[in-house]
Amino acid sequence: MNKVDKIASIDASSADWERNYDKMIGQDRVVKNRSGIEIKPLYWPENDTDGTYEEKLGFPGADPMTRGIYPTMHRGRTWSQRQLIGLGRPVDFNERIKSILKSGSSALSIIPCNSVYRGIDCDEVEPEILGTCGTILNTVEDMDISLKDIPLDEISIGLNDPNPFTMLVQMLIVAENRGISWDKITGTSNQSDYISHFVANHMFYRLSLSGSRRVQMDAVEYLAEHVPNWNALSIVGQHMQQAGGTPAQAMGLTLSTAIQFGNDCIERGMDPEKFLERFTFFFDISISFFEEVAKFRAGRRIWNNLVVERFGVSNPRAKRFKFHAQTSGLDLTRQQPLNNIARVTAQAMAGIFGGLQSMHTDGYDEVLSTPTPESAKIAISTQNILKHEAHLCDVVDPLGGSYYVESLTDTMEEEILKVIAQIDEQGGMYKAVEKGFVQEMLGASALEFQDQIDNGEQLIVGVNAYQEEEDASARPVLKRPTAEHMQAQVDRLKEVKAARDPEALAKGLQDLRDAARSEDINVFAAEIDAVRAGATLGEIVKVLREELGFGQPLVVA
């Protein structure tokens, strides 16, 4: 190819991008900075003399999507502000979520009580710790109250709802009762990836590894058919990074997990051109700013190439690396806690420049207690300030083309690919976690990072540098749910349980048990019927634990 051809080739791609951009943006806004300079939505080199621009970066929304998965990215639609909320009773959650939606949040996300994560109903929980970290969701009624006045067909919903996804089941039945058809329901089973729970987020871990795999794949298959706009899979790098993985390791392990899920879907006869459209990812954003930006850009490029190589897809929607990201609580400090607002700001900027689709910013007090309503508001304002005042969304991939960022993106890509190769050698992610290979990798990395802090190689303001006398009065005081409210919740559960039709309930639970024992009855479908018959969270999980095994994480020292 001669030089003239190549210059022509970038012109053709840029014209393609411009056409797609115009189509997607609708009425574009004129953006001028304070000096009156007009800001274009995208900047790219005038020519691509050796072809590397097209190969490595390309235009947003086109292969290899390094610069973003949509032609418009944040210049068009900015990310969803998906704050994690959950406290106490369903009615408390409902009040809080309505106020959060008013303050500019555009999607809702529910965090259940830790007892829900454990899979037990509130009447079996020690009262001291009930409802202190999230909302109690044991029954369809609990979900109905939590979502009172929320238009389920108009808002994207995120459920932090591990396997076997009882919250989703409850919500689907609430929708059914309100006459909303399931194809109108949009959202994501956040962090639903059972592999990450086994390895890293033990909080979410309920069923045995093999049992989780069974139920998860049943849910993916059922939802693809019956709730087509729901993202059943959210593949989680956040847990890997929070458990100690470096950003490169976390990205590599997440992509390996996605390969595992892809292969498992194909084994069930599902079509990758379709199911990959619904894959979503969830990542951590640490304060290592440029490393995080490069991590996201490299991850996007690897995924774009990988789905073609491994799954043979050509549908551009199936190649999109859609991700939600959360600022990392690990970087926050108890010392001088207001400094955490600055940390979250830097983390959020890395996520924005990394091209995320949805974000949660942490409350500055997360390291002190369950975040207060005041700190949650500051966390949302941080996103709004970055968007409107700092103008971070005017240009697509504004760091693209920086010598440093591009070189780092390439090097992160190499590191990530090495991790994927290591997992391939183990026989894939399922086998690698079953053997403890991944756990060992993360454990070693966690200790190494802690050593860097202990020996002062990594300075942390207020912790091992710039220490000051701490003012304890600056720390927020958290209101916990009252004992009376929690007792009322327990009493109500007992009433709801007593009012059920015992025969229908027994049949629902027996059918669920039979489905779990069988090889070919969909467990998730049986679960929906059992919940319709009144089964609670605790009853569902108990049956599945009896049939599929109780989940204990494999901890490797």
Partner 1 sequence: MSLTATIPARVLVTKIGLDGHDRGSRIIAAYLRDAGMEVIYTNPWQKIEAVVTLALEEDVDVIGISSLATDHLLVPKLMIALAKAGLGHVRVVVGGIVPDQDEADLLAAGVSMVFHPGAVRDDIVSAVEKFAVAATNDRPQD
Footprint of partner 1 (CB under 8 A) = 114-115, 117-118, 125-126, 128-129, 132-133, 201-205, 242-244, 332-335, 367-370, 443, 446-447, 450, 453-454, 460, 462-464, 472, 475, 477-478, 480, 552-553, 555, 557
Could you give the strand order of the β-sheet that contains 156-160, starting from the edge strand earlier in sequence?
84-85, 107-110, 156-160, 187-190, 230-231
- With respect to partner 1, which residue has the nearer C-beta, 80 or 191? 191
- With respect to partner 1, which residue has the nearer C-beta, 30 or 472? 472
- Smallest distance, partner 1 to C-beta of residue 89, A: 16
- With respect to partner 1, which residue has the nearer C-beta, 95 or 448? 448
Q: Which residues contact 149 (CB under 8 A, 6 or more apart)?
A: 94, 98
**Quick one: CA torsion of 286, 290, 296, 298, rounded to 10 degrees?**
-140
Given a contact cutoff of 8 angstroms between Cβ atoms, the answer to whether 352 and 79 are in contact is yes
Given a contact cutoff of 8 angstroms between Cβ atoms, the answer to whether 17 and 61 are in contact is yes
- Smallest distance, partner 1 to C-beta of residue 369, A: 4
Q: Render the burial of 253-263: b for 16+ CB within 10 Å, e for the rest.
A: bbbbbbbbbbe
- Smallest distance, partner 1 to C-beta of residue 204, A: 7
- Smallest distance, partner 1 to C-beta of residue 158, A: 19
Tokens representing residue 388 in the block: 């409107």
- With respect to partner 1, which residue has the nearer C-beta, 329 or 401? 329
- With respect to partner 1, which residue has the nearer C-beta, 90 or 162? 162
Given a contact cutoff of 8 angstroms between Cβ atoms, the answer to whether 344 and 361 are in contact is yes
- Smallest distance, partner 1 to C-beta of residue 367, A: 5
- Smallest distance, partner 1 to C-beta of residue 477, A: 6
* Residue among 553, 556, 554 nearest 205 (CA): 553
- With respect to partner 1, which residue has the nearer C-beta, 91 or 461? 461
Given a contact cutoff of 8 angstroms between Cβ atoms, the answer to whether 360 and 80 are in contact is no
- With respect to partner 1, which residue has the nearer C-beta, 308 or 460? 460
Largest pairwise CA distance in the chain: 80
- Smallest distance, partner 1 to C-beta of residue 154, A: 32
- With respect to partner 1, which residue has the nearer C-beta, 72 or 190? 190
- Smallest distance, partner 1 to C-beta of residue 483, A: 12
Q: Which residues contact 397 (CB under 8 A, 6 or more apart)?
A: 42, 60, 66, 67, 68, 73, 297, 353, 355
- Smallest distance, partner 1 to C-beta of residue 475, A: 6
Helix (H) or strand (E) holding 293, with range, is helix 289-311
Q: Which residues contact 246 (CB under 8 A, 6 or more apart)?
A: 445, 449
Taking CA 417 as the corner, what is the angle to CA 414 and CA 423, rounded to the nearest 5 degrees? Answer: 150
- Smallest distance, partner 1 to C-beta of residue 376, A: 16
Residues linked to residue 207 through DSSP beta bridges, in sequence order: 550
- With respect to partner 1, which residue has the nearer C-beta, 115 or 536? 115
First to last CA, the chain: 55
In terms of C-beta density within 10 A (0-12 exposed, 13-18 middle, 19 or more buried), how is residue 504 classed? middle
- With respect to partner 1, which residue has the nearer C-beta, 55 or 448? 448
Taking CA 31 as the corner, what is the angle to CA 15 and CA 81, rounded to the nearest 5 degrees? Answer: 95
- With respect to partner 1, which residue has the nearer C-beta, 131 or 355? 131
Q: Which residues contact 12 (CB under 8 A, 6 or more apart)?
A: none
- Smallest distance, partner 1 to C-beta of residue 441, A: 13
Backbone angles phi, psi at 157, to 5 degrees: -120, 135
